Amino acid sequence: MNPETKAMLETAVEANSRVNDVLCGHLTPEMMGAVTPGGGMTVGQHLAHIAGTTRFWLLQLDEGAASPLPILYDDTRQDAFVAQEDPARAAQALRAVWTAALHTALSAEGTGHLSHPSTGQFLLHMLAHDAHHRGQMLLALKVNGFPLPDEDAMWGPLRGE
């Protein structure tokens, strides 16, 4: 991967992590149970899902890098998706998962068992995935009467602020 692409991916991942930090910093334990319309996932489940999915794909690239990463749901349950409800823990887990994903993707010799043509495309896919679920979480907060995070704080990192 050329240096310009690496720098762009590092910047994008750091901005994404800062947005996740703002969102998690805004959340309260009560907000973690807000559900998207139509019986979708809770905010806590969305956070667990985005960390878990990034971790899952990272396992395909480098099992050793992914296996020690935190999991935000009860992985002993087969009958239900039970997510933890501590926003600070979610923020820490997301940071850990993204730090490992970036480091591993940028240093990987190949694509392992990824179904992505390159590690850069893996990172871009996961960034889009985070953004999709952040939108779902904001919708869940809004329709359940919770305040939304400050827009400038939330989106400033993606604008380079």
Annotated binding site for a divalent metal cation: 49, 129, 133
Q: How many structural domains are present in the chain? A: 1
Nearest 5°: the CA angle 47, 103, 48 is: 10
C-alpha distances in angstroms, 14 versus 1, 4, 33, 157?
A: 18, 15, 27, 8
What is the band of 72 on the pLDDT scale with cuts at 50, 70, 90? Answer: confident
Rounded distance, CA 21 to CA 127, Å? 14
Known binding-site residues equal 49, 129, 133
Residue 47 pLDDT grade (very low, low, confident, very high; cuts 50, 70, 90): very high
Residue 70, pLDDT > 90, answer no
Share of the chain above pLDDT 70, in %: 98
- Which of 7-11, 61-65, 90-94 has the lowest average pLDDT? 61-65
Q: How far apart are CA 26 and CA 149, in angstroms?
A: 6
Q: Is the pLDDT of residue 89 over 80?
A: yes
> Binning pLDDT at 50, 70 and 90, where does residue 42 land?
very high
For 30, the domain range is 3-159
Q: Which CATH number does the domain housing residue 41 bear? A: 1.20.120.450
pLDDT of residue 114: 83
DSSP collapsed to 3 states, the chain: CCHHHHHHHHHHHHHHHHHHHHHHHHCCCCHHHCECCCCCCEHHHHHHHHHHHHHHHHHHHCHHHHCCCCCCECCCCCCCCCECCCHHHHHHHHHHHHHHHHHHHHHCCCCCCCCCCCHHHHHHHHHHHHHHHHHHHHHHHHHCCCCCCCHHHHHHHHHCC
Share of the chain above pLDDT 90, in %: 66
Residue type for position 160: G
